[in-house]
Structure 1
């Protein structure tokens, strides 16, 4: 666009203003850290040992050096193999503890970690370990392997800010760190935040009016958004990343598959608020329930969303094993929050998970009749056996939530176990499909997490029942953490996919455990959990930041302000469609192919059959929500990847957030953004005779609030500038408006083109793409 420089100049002015407001000094960042009075193994010592020592002196027996194991009390206290009269750790005695001698040594031949390892223990960490040994060197079971306990909610004397139990824990931690809560966010920012979090869409002008006028309370708006069909679509985005949902099989001969009825079920399940225990049970083991119905069978498609090869000449058993590995790794990540895949080839180097533990878990998923290779690309059936067919009769009955646009049957891959036999499972040497070793294994779970009860069936249904036992340490913690991450950007455990010893420690352990127990005691009620979080004062804080806050807590770990978070890729698309009025709010159905750069698919040799050529959809299909965008595994949609969308080839529990020039270029030039700006401009020109009212309405639609006087002046000046440019050359105005497939309205072309440019500028504001 020829006016890109003008638009960019507006962004630069706004950026400079923002930088001036947010500039601060980090003069306090490097203050000396005080060693705590009481040193904890879990929260102080284990992270140091895990980062620097466990690779050679940890759980992996094959890599353990000098016979020394520092991850267990017995190993650390035992006599050294090479010097039986010495011990790595002697509780209470730093002089007799060889660990202390080695980490303080300057002799390269005995210093630990050794110089060649490129690992370093800081002076602070050395003194922390020394004090821990002086205090008795007490080991503790890893915090994540202990069942959560509901501790007493802190109620500080000076706390007039808290609204619910979450705030008590957050306020207590703030007070401990010398922080105070931020004031409540302005109503416009607050409503936009809530609408985006619960529906993934900006608030409508009517919702803004009702809330700002006081006709609808905060609690009423929460219930309003939780009951919208869009709520299920928003939460389903998280789950589709987890369930590795895509619309093609993946691998080189990549062709279309029809798992989309499973996506319809996920949206339906969240909107119906199916309890989390039932939600997961149906997905992992719905086929093993007594007399399972069609909905429960459809839910098991979760297990079959992994990549499937259609390449001729592959080794059947090799790929069948890959599919079982994927199911095992997905279970461990979504329920246990553990990196158990590290134990596929050897004992886990950091967590007490052996290779045998891994293949015991693998055995639960190793009894399916699916094949490694079923047929080459081009099959008319878009699913692999075991599968279920969905027809019109289903969609008029128990599967009435499926949006099936025609009368053709749809095939979906589902889960099933062998009926007349049990496939034996072995440890695979170095994880190789053709190298089984040892005796056959039985399905089992790692004792370090929770022993598997002998009363449970040794199948996937028993495995899920084990996961939802009242004293299970991880299941509720992991999901509560995912929901917290979805709202605040970072989980209470920042490493949401790793609750193990290499993972990050919880920032608010007591709050995490309180929420985990509360969630379980509520009957695994997901909507209740979300309502509890967004009802808190913590959630309703302003995102404005002061120099003092940044100096004490630059990463906002202790939540003395609300974080500013760039929207997920799909939600950027949704925001543009919804605010412009282009959005087609149809729920569910097959995936759609929106605008995409010409020739991109054709330049890739990965597509076969229907995926060899990109056939862009027309009409209403162009304006569906981002969740319905067709995902080809070998070439995911560029419009989503530019904004860090998931490529869906493995289970993913969090997304990156990057800032690149491509993102700015996309927002300035994407046909959808330009078309939405043109369509909104047409509507506003038709409905408003004065530019001020039109710009104000565009601002409210996109940002959820009225512009401030300075913003209004800047946008009005830009409008006048663009109006003058188009008046001088009307052909430019006509060409500017020729964008997008939606029909153009009869309009004042020059006025509409000028307003369109203002709307493009608003869409490109940092606040537009950010939840503040």
Structure 2
């Protein structure tokens, strides 16, 4: 009887939906969106289900409704628990599929997603699901959990544009979309772009002149090699890695005292400059202490795992904070190295990705066997600069195996590192993530949905590193090449670099991502080679000029028909100012420094205890170190850097947000470093025998990295003339009285201050602090 009623109801429902079909066809015809000929579960349907359905019908068993999972094929094709004759999905028949019937229903009692969820599918998304079901409702494993596959280099129409393999993939998609790539950027723009991407510094006048005067075909390629060989390359790359490794110069929390972890930063710079292969670079950081007869360099590398926040406050529960440290290392591994939001499974099964809570704590257990405590000491002297386990770095070490460390003569160096317990600590699933709620005991392993843990690997961090660099691992190479692509092009091929899971963005160029990942692995995980591939591509060398058509059709430059244009990172804004003015102290490595900072900031955000309760500004050449070396106190990070979106290093970050606020303009107009740089550069130019116009042209080139157009020079000359006429002597002296760099005795104050104002204006151009 029920079957006959259901069958009759299905006929009525089908007639109803035939009318809806006609409406959908009209909707699609009038929409700018067009359904693909072949609907892919991975690229078209899964994102819709993940955003709207998986919270209640996904991996998390604790939140699952109606015992229905839509993320697994065999579960979605089963009959419904309470209505055995009804199926969520019937391949080839959308009107027999309850999923489709529910999403198009007008009845609020059955409509999905439920109205009170504040989720709603668009007509286009509904049509996509319908077509997918009609074509057979074929499921696919999530794209990022499938190992990269060898793909053929695409065929393109305009071979003459191509410089290397990357360009074939980019051009293929451009041709499909009806776009043409931009022409190559002019040489000045190319050199500035390349210099910031490879060294974080602006090109010098000598570099600009040499490049402009070199007509050879190898001129650009030669500069790529020179910059990759520069010591500044390691410093530039280290900025990105400091965010990932959550490096800071203080422990964090309210009693935010000093930590001496900077020798690990020196090692990172050294590793990048030596072009250490990525597999070795990561293995040493994860498990250098577990290698056979580890050297002090390998031990130092493991400081990566100890960069997290550490409390020094009394009255805390030791185990609670120890568990917090282990959790931080676990989450950092997931986000930074495999691009999975593992932290979402700390309290329950992951709602979107096939990672159970048990599997989270299996990963957790790799990091849960360290000889550490939740609290080791109270705020005090040098003995608190590092927490056990730690290593001391002696003068003998610096004279031999650790020669890359820039150690001040009188500095006592101790660095927190990793060190295993003599016997294994038992790890448990922590119910609801509570440190004291022990559930099932677990052993080290990894989610099988990503890659089953090889039983031949050690059940420790060294085995974890081997799992990470197993050739079958689908994530490791993809995640890293995506991070480097983001560093070079401003946005990753996957726009969510920390989330390659169900809720992450789909890759804009999946075939290119896989080709790069495989090529990277097959060529020894060579980082400099990877960077070189990117910056020598025609894609990279395009002009950043945007046409109205491209701005309208591809405003976010997803298809890379032009070079990206975006603001420099906070550290490189500082580096630009110091370098162009001649103030930069290019010393490599060493302790962090405390430059100018508004008074009272530290004092207003401290318990009043410890050596960091009061800000003690540095002097002399330490005022002019690169942004990489700015002292980062977690509770009060450097204000000028923070306003330009630098990380406070509380936790692992794989990308920075880019904001535009009036406070950034105030920094560029009033920051002592910027004003001092303007004063110093103006003074140097006034000592050269040249006209005012020549001085302005030279300053413009040094700061903006190109020759100014005559109309730009005319505006600046007019402004300069006005300053000379109206500025009083006393006002000039007040303007010049900024910074600690010595004043010149033999310069006219009004002339000096007037040129200083012009240079300050050039520094404040949008183009100055942008990569174009």
TM range (shorter): over 0.9
Q: Is 1:416 matched up with 2:415?
A: no
Partner SS, residue 151 of structure 1: coil
Q: 2:528 corresponds to which residue?
A: 527
State the Cα deviation string for residues 213-270 of structure 1 (Å, max 9, x = none). 1167000010111111110000000000000000001011110010000000000000
Structure 2 spans left out of the alignment, 5+ residues: 1-29
How far residue 606 of structure 1 moved from its aligned partner, in angstroms, is 4.3
Give me the whole-angstrom Cα distance separating, in 1, the residues matched to 2:765 and 2:497: 30
Q: 2:595 corresponds to which residue?
A: 594
Please, what TM-score do these two structures have when normalized by structure 1?
0.95
CA contact (8 A) 1:363 1:441 kept: yes
How far residue 607 of structure 1 moved from its aligned partner, in angstroms, is 5.6
Q: 2:213 corresponds to which residue?
A: 213
Give the alignment partner of residue 232 of structure 2, picking from 227, 230, 233: 230
Q: 2:765 corresponds to which residue?
A: 765
Give me the whole-angstrom Cα distance separating, in 2, the residues matched to 1:555 and 1:423: 49
How far residue 44 of structure 1 moved from its aligned partner, in angstroms, is 0.1
Give me the whole-angstrom Cα distance separating, in 2, the residues matched to 1:468 and 1:608: 45
State the Cα deviation string for residues 680-725 of structure 1 (Å, max 9, x = none). 0000000133112111111111111110111111111111111112
Q: 1:666-681 alignment to 2 at 5 Å?
A: 666-681=667-682
Partner SS, residue 128 of structure 1: helix
How far residue 197 of structure 1 moved from its aligned partner, in angstroms, is 0.4
Partner SS, residue 83 of structure 1: coil
State the Cα deviation string for residues 446-473 of structure 1 (Å, max 9, x = none). 0000000011010000000111011110
Give me the whole-angstrom Cα distance separating, in 2, the residues matched to 1:751 and 1:698: 15
How far residue 732 of structure 1 moved from its aligned partner, in angstroms, is 1.5
Q: Is 1:706 matched up with 2:720?
A: no
Give me the whole-angstrom Cα distance separating, in 2, the residues matched to 1:606 and 1:533: 48
Q: 2:454 corresponds to which residue?
A: 453
Q: 1:541-560 alignment to 2 at 5 Å?
A: 541-560=542-561
CA contact (8 A) 1:392 1:407 kept: no
Q: Is 1:111 matched up with 2:111?
A: yes
How far residue 643 of structure 1 moved from its aligned partner, in angstroms, is 0.3
Q: Is 1:336 matched up with 2:338?
A: yes
Q: 1:481 corresponds to which residue?
A: 482
CA contact (8 A) 1:264 1:402 kept: yes
Q: 1:232-247 alignment to 2 at 5 Å?
A: 232-247=234-249
Give me the whole-angstrom Cα distance separating, in 2, the residues matched to 1:31 and 1:125: 12
Q: 1:719 corresponds to which residue?
A: 720
Q: 1:249-398 alignment to 2 at 5 Å?
A: 249-381=251-383, 382-398=385-401
Partner SS, residue 426 of structure 1: strand
Aligned length: 739
State the Cα deviation string for residues 630-674 of structure 1 (Å, max 9, x = none). 000111110110000001010000001000000001100001110
CA contact (8 A) 2:249 2:262 kept: yes
CA contact (8 A) 1:392 1:409 kept: no
Give me the whole-angstrom Cα distance separating, in 2, the residues matched to 1:209 and 1:607: 53
Q: Is 1:41 matched up with 2:41?
A: yes
Give me the whole-angstrom Cα distance separating, in 2, the residues matched to 1:36 and 1:475: 31
State the Cα deviation string for residues 736-759 of structure 1 (Å, max 9, x = none). 111110001232322211111110
Q: 1:27 corresponds to which residue?
A: none
Q: 2:81 corresponds to which residue?
A: 81
With 280-289 and 102-111 compared, the bigger mean Cα shift is at 102-111
How far residue 81 of structure 1 moved from its aligned partner, in angstroms, is 0.7
Give me the whole-angstrom Cα distance separating, in 2, the residues matched to 1:672 and 1:620: 13
Q: 1:733 corresponds to which residue?
A: 732
Give me the whole-angstrom Cα distance separating, in 1, the residues matched to 2:159 and 2:177: 15
Q: 1:166 corresponds to which residue?
A: 166
How far residue 31 of structure 1 moved from its aligned partner, in angstroms, is 5.1
CA contact (8 A) 1:108 1:114 kept: yes
CA contact (8 A) 1:685 1:748 kept: no
Give me the whole-angstrom Cα distance separating, in 1, the residues matched to 2:332 and 2:636: 22
CA contact (8 A) 2:255 2:610 kept: no
Structure 1 spans left out of the alignment, 5+ residues: 1-29
CA contact (8 A) 1:391 1:407 kept: no
Partner SS, residue 611 of structure 1: coil
Give me the whole-angstrom Cα distance separating, in 1, the residues matched to 2:82 and 2:596: 68
Q: Is 1:97 matched up with 2:100?
A: no
Partner SS, residue 656 of structure 1: coil
Q: 1:31 to 1:577 in 2, by over 3 A?
A: farther
Q: Is 1:429 matched up with 2:431?
A: yes
Give me the whole-angstrom Cα distance separating, in 2, the residues matched to 1:380 and 1:232: 29
Partner SS, residue 696 of structure 2: helix
CA contact (8 A) 2:329 2:367 kept: yes
Q: 1:685 corresponds to which residue?
A: 686
Give me the whole-angstrom Cα distance separating, in 2, the residues matched to 1:150 and 1:333: 26
Q: 1:149 to 1:607 in 2, by over 3 A?
A: farther
CA contact (8 A) 1:601 1:607 kept: no
Q: 1:607 to 1:285 in 2, by over 3 A?
A: farther
How far residue 150 of structure 1 moved from its aligned partner, in angstroms, is 2.5
Q: 1:140 corresponds to which residue?
A: 140
Q: 1:641 to 1:606 in 2, by over 3 A?
A: farther
CA contact (8 A) 2:256 2:606 kept: no
Give me the whole-angstrom Cα distance separating, in 1, the residues matched to 2:31 and 2:686: 58
With 318-327 and 155-164 compared, the bigger mean Cα shift is at 155-164
